[in-house]
Structures are given as C-alpha cells and as structure tokens.
A and B are shown apart, each in its own frame.
Chain A
Amino acid sequence: MKFSQKIIANLKLGGADFFLSVPCKLLANMITILENDKDIYYSAIPREEEGMGICAGAYLGNKLPCIMMQNTGIGNSVNSIVSLLQLYQMPVVFLISYRGTPGEPVGAQGGMASVTEDILNTLRIPMLHCDTEQDLDKISTFTNHAKVIESPVAVLCNFNLMKDD
C-alpha cells in the first residue's frame, strides 16, 4: 500500500486530476485509494482505447488525465494514441503496471512485455521506469512534463516493485 500511496500522491502533485483504469491486480491498491479520493474523478472502464478518447475529452475540459492499465493496454490503443492524443497534442499520463517483467508468475505475459518498450519508443513516448521506491519520487515531475510537452508520457511500474505493496 505504501508504494501505491506514493504513486497516487506524486501523480496528483504533478497535476493529474482525472483518473481512469482498466484494472490489474498490481493496480488494485491504487484503485482503492482513488475510489475514496473526493478531490479527483475516477472510474474503471472496459477498454483502454476508449479510455484514450475519454482522456482526450477530459483534457479539452482542462483536466490532466491519467489512465492506469497493464502494458497490454498499450497494444489495444496504438491508433488512438497516434491519431488522437499525439495528433492534437494532448497530455495524458499512462500509469502502467508492467506485467511480464522479472518476478512475474504468468509466463504468457512475457510476450507483450518483450515488445512494450519498442512500441513506446516507436511512438516516441517518454518513459519513466520505476524499479525502486526512489524512482517513484520522479513521478510528479514526469507527470507535469506531459503538460509541458503536450504529449502522452508513460510511467512503467515493474512487477517486482509492486508485487509486495
């Protein structure tokens, strides 16, 4: 719970005030925190791609949106990232539970894990890797960076960091 609290606090400190998630067990504590936070909007949604659309609308209405999802959700969302968020230069923070990284018990997650960073690199999306507790302190500046550069950014939280939280 400590890391989850730190992540949410840093996202909010960086300006994020509108949250969506397609749930993941590594995000469960963060979702509980957000569900009880009266200062921000939060909802679970069925699919990441529609989340990119909802985030785009929330940005038009002056929010800094954050969508929380597994790295698999990037695969579901490529066109909406390029042809909506990047085309119109809309800042959105992707808070990604990075399944398939060392410590992961589900072998099948390895496939998307092996291509996730290549996809994000191809899309020119800045990445912040969170492997240790200290890395989480960088999230607030990185969140604000999305607003400054008017672009999506991705925070990748490794399995080993989050699994015992």
Chain B
Amino acid sequence: MMNRFELLNLLQDTIQNEFVICNIGLPSQELYKINDRPNYFYMLGSMGLASSIGLGLSLTIDKNVISIDGDGSVLMNMNTLATIGNRAPSNYTLLIVDNGSYGSTGDQKTFTNESTSLKDVAIGAGCKNVIECSGEETNENLQKALADTNNSYVIISKIKSGNVPIKPIPLNAVTIRDRFRKEIGLVTYL
C-alpha cells in the first residue's frame, strides 16, 4: 500500500492542469512540496470544508474541479455528501484520500478504521458513481471521472497512514486566493 505523499505524487500528471481544492494540513503541505501550482487552492483553515468549497466552485465554472479531501475531514462534514449527492454538477469530483487516520494531528485512527464505510455513506447520501479503490487504481479512476462530462464522481482511495516531514505552506491566504482566481481568469493585476 502507498501513503498519501506517494499517491499525490502519482496523480500529478492527471491533476496539474485542473482546478484542485486541497484539504487543510499535511495534504496541502505535501501537495505544495510535490508540485506547487497556482491552480491548486491550499486550505489553511476550516477543516472539513474542502468538499464543500470544491462543490461551490464547480457550480460556478465549466471546468473540472477536484476536491482532495481526507477521511477525517469528510467525517467532520458528512452532511455535505448529501448536498453533493443532490446538487453536484458533472464537472465535480470528490477524491477522498482514506488512510484511516487523522494524519495532520499525529495519525490517530478515524472511524473508517472501524465500522464506518465512506463508500456506503456516500451512496446512502445520494452520490452517484461512488468508487472505492486502492491507491494504485486511483489515477485511472480519476482520469475516467475527469473525462466523463455527464457525471460527477466520488472516489475513495484506500491507502496506508503515514506522513513525510514537512513545513507549513509559506504562502499568504490572499496570495493563494488571487493566483487561483487568476488561473480562472478573474484576476488581471498579478
């Protein structure tokens, strides 16, 4: 099994030209270290809302939007799976990196390690095209989701826990905001 850092590395060819909303903490820090891109929106706060932010963006632009979330964060904001199940447009993909642990806070176990299946929760919440797969299978499934212009997807990538030593992202929040919006075509002063 691969860990999150290896998975994020593996996905770069697929996601580096897409609009990505990335979960707070180590996921964003790892993504920044692997391949910093202006079309990557790094969350610096508000744990749980990566899925919701990506949903809001996907409702307002025509391009693909990928929310990269974690199992702990989805557990914190599970009601938004119902909103996604009923409202997500076809350009929206939720990628849940499910390593069964709260990685950023010291790898304490989450309930996906016990009885909770986010796949079953997502299906029960009304999400269509819910795929649970291994880290190795994630790239192929994500490519399929991005290529499908008629359906939204929820992909749950089952990987192992573990983090790499890393520093906080040095970017200011408004810098992240503005360079992201410049990629959308809304900011012209940078």
B173 touches A60 (CB 8 A): no
- Bound-state Cα–Cα, A82 to B65, Å: 24
- Bound-state Cα–Cα, A141 to B56, Å: 25
How many Å from the CB of B190 to the closest CB on chain A?
15
Contact size class for A?
20 to 34
- Bound-state Cα–Cα, A120 to B15, Å: 39
Contact residue among B45, B60, B174 (Cβ-Cβ distance under 8 Å from A57): B60
Contacts of B48 in A (CB 8 A): 49-50, 53
B59 touches A61 (CB 8 A): yes
- Name A's interface SS: helix
**A119 an interface residue at 8 Å Cβ cutoff?**
no
Chain A residue, CB-CB nearest to B45? A83
**A66 an interface residue at 8 Å Cβ cutoff?**
no
B59 touches A58 (CB 8 A): yes
How many Å from the CB of A101 to the closest CB on chain B?
28
- Bound-state Cα–Cα, A51 to B132, Å: 27
How many Å from the CB of B17 to the closest CB on chain A?
17
Stretch at the interface among B5-13, B75-83, B104-112, B115-123: B75-83
Contacts of B41 in A (CB 8 A): 60
Contact residue among A56, A58, A61, A83 (Cβ-Cβ distance under 8 Å from B44): A83
- Bound-state Cα–Cα, A47 to B55, Å: 14
A50 touches B177 (CB 8 A): no
**B153 an interface residue at 8 Å Cβ cutoff?**
no
A53 touches B174 (CB 8 A): no
How many Å from the CB of B56 to the closest CB on chain A?
3
- Bound-state Cα–Cα, A46 to B51, Å: 14
How many Å from the CB of A121 to the closest CB on chain B?
21
> Which of B58, B82, B83 is most buried by chain A, counting CB atoms within 10 A of its CB?
B83
Contacts of A49 in B (CB 8 A): 48-49, 77
B54 touches A57 (CB 8 A): yes
Contacts of B176 in A (CB 8 A): 88
Contact residue among B46, B55, B87, B186 (Cβ-Cβ distance under 8 Å from A84): B46
- Bound-state Cα–Cα, A80 to B77, Å: 12
Given contacts A80-B46, A83-B46, A87-B173, contact A53 B53 (CB under 8 A): yes
**B130 an interface residue at 8 Å Cβ cutoff?**
no
A53 touches B59 (CB 8 A): no
B34-65: CB near A (< 8 Å → 1, else 0) gives 00000001011110111111111111110001
| Pairs of residues from A and B, 7 with the lowest C-beta to C-beta distance, nearest first | A57-B56, A83-B45, A53-B52, A61-B60, A53-B49, A57-B57, A54-B56
5 CB < 8 A contacts A-B: A41-B59, A55-B56, A57-B59, A58-B56, A83-B45
| Extra pairs beyond A46-B83, A49-B48, A57-B65 (10, CB < 8 Å) | A50-B49, A50-B52, A53-B80, A54-B56, A57-B53, A57-B56, A60-B177, A60-B181, A61-B57, A89-B177
